[in-house]
Amino acid sequence: MFYKVKVKDHIRVPPKAFASDPEAAVIKYIKEEYSGHVSKDFGFVINVLSVENIKEGVIIPGDGAAYYESFFELLTFKPELNEVLTGKIRDITDFGAFMHIGPVEGMIHVSQSMDDFVSFSKDKVLQGRKNGRTLKIGDQCKARIIAVSFKDLSNPKIGLTMRQEGLGKLEWLEKKTEAPAEAEKPAKKKEKEK
């Protein structure tokens, strides 16, 4: 889910930036520090939306840099358990598929790709044995988040499933909604015949 987060932090501005406008320097260092930042609290920081207030700077003895208490707003993406997202398959391996969800990537284990026995082909395609469904790179899919781990902040993990009702490749879902409408028509004809 995307969030707007208000943050208060002390931003370090090194002495080399003292010649520039203090406000511009603080904004520059806020963007450097927070753009692309990943944390368990915020999730993935997409962008610094606005800087609302910058207070007077304080120079810390022994450091030489100025620290400005600043208030700003971030745009973040924090994946939530059981959240349903639509995304695009980026890659397929023998153990599963990787799907773009917002600004990050989630992994669908091969056992969670469909409710069928799934095989992997050298053409990077996952195929169900009984239903014949295929999953390829570039397919648009709907998946549910089943695991989120920020244990390693340099490589956070997001686990996805497409096995539940209403999830999967968008083409599969469209065909499912068409099928019940066709199945109802013959049932109504049978009632009229009686």
CATH code, 148: 2.40.50.140
Q: For residues 59 and 128, state if they share a domain.
A: no
Name the pairing type of β-strands 96-101 and 84-93.
antiparallel
pTM reported for the whole predicted model: 0.75
The per-residue pLDDT string of the chain (194 residues; one tens digit each, 9 = 90 and over) reads: 899 999 999 999 998 988 888 888 999 999 999 988 898 888 999 988 988 998 988 988 888 899 999 999 999 999 999 999 999 999 999 899 999 998 899 999 999 988 888 888 888 988 888 888 889 999 999 999 999 998 888 889 999 999 888 898 888 888 777 655 555 555 555 555 54
CB 162 within 8 Å of CB 140? no
Last residue of a domain, one of 18, 44, 77: 77
Task: Identify any residues that bridge with 8 across adjacent strands, giving them in sequence order.
Answer: 71
- 95/104 Cα distance (integer angstroms): 19
Name the residue among 106, 111, 4 with its Cα closest to residue 47. 4
Q: For residues 35 and 105, state if they share a domain.
A: no
Report yes or no on 186 lying in a domain: no
CATH code, 54: 3.30.1490.120
Name the residue among 122, 146, 147 with its Cα closest to residue 136. 122
